[in-house]
Amino acid sequence: MRRVIRTPLTVALASLAAAGAAAGAVAAVAGATTTARPQKKSVSVNDNFYGPAKLTITKGSTVTWKWPADVGDSHDVKLTKKPSGAKFTFKSPDTGKKVTKGTFQSPPFASGPAKFVVTGFNKPGRYHLICTFHETEMQMDITVKK
Ligand SMILES: [Cu+2]
């Protein structure tokens, strides 16, 4: 019969492997309790409404407003309310370069396809947006979950 000889090295390796497995289990549990991953959401810009008009997203999500081929009227997207300190990254309508600012307004489009992509919904709370051409009827709310 063969004897299994446990040298100090194999014992050390075995305990390392056990420690690694335990650490992995802890990491898996921690991962399960952290907040949800950022999402990518689309909003269609219509005559004269956003679809959807209410959106709930996770922190750090990206929202893309999309104008279809023939929207009709000109429409834009302007942020009017946000949690304090919120900042956004988007392509500046003026320069076409990416900027990070405390507010945003898309270019107006009357015919698409066109899109306006905004990232940086990192602060939980309510964000209110309007179309500056149809301010009273064309509005939307975004809620960022805690
Ligand atoms: Cu509009």
Distance 67 CA to ligand 1 centre (A): 11
Say what the pLDDT of residue 16 is: 41
At 30-84, the pLDDT tens digits run 455 566 899 999 999 999 999 999 999 999 999 999 999 988 899 999 999 999 9
Share of the chain above pLDDT 70, in %: 76
Give the contacts of 109 (CB within 8 A, at least 6 positions apart). Answer: 45, 67, 71, 74, 75, 76
Question: In CATH, what number is assigned to the domain containing residue 89?
Answer: 2.60.40.420
The number of distinct structural domains making up the chain is: 1
Q: Does residue 29 have a pLDDT over 60?
A: no
Say what the pLDDT of residue 109 is: 95
Distance 68 CA to ligand 1 centre (A): 13
Distance 139 CA to ligand 1 centre (A): 9
* Consecutive H or E run containing 57: strand 54-57
Distance 121 CA to ligand 1 centre (A): 23
Q: Is residue 17 part of a domain?
A: no
Distance 111 CA to ligand 1 centre (A): 12
Distance 109 CA to ligand 1 centre (A): 9
Contact criterion met (CB below 8 Å) for 38 and 61: yes
Q: What is the mean pLDDT of the chain?
A: 84
Say what the pLDDT of residue 92 is: 94
Which structural domain, as residue segments, surrounds residue 70? 40-144
Distance 74 CA to ligand 1 centre (A): 6
Q: Is residue 81 part of a domain?
A: yes
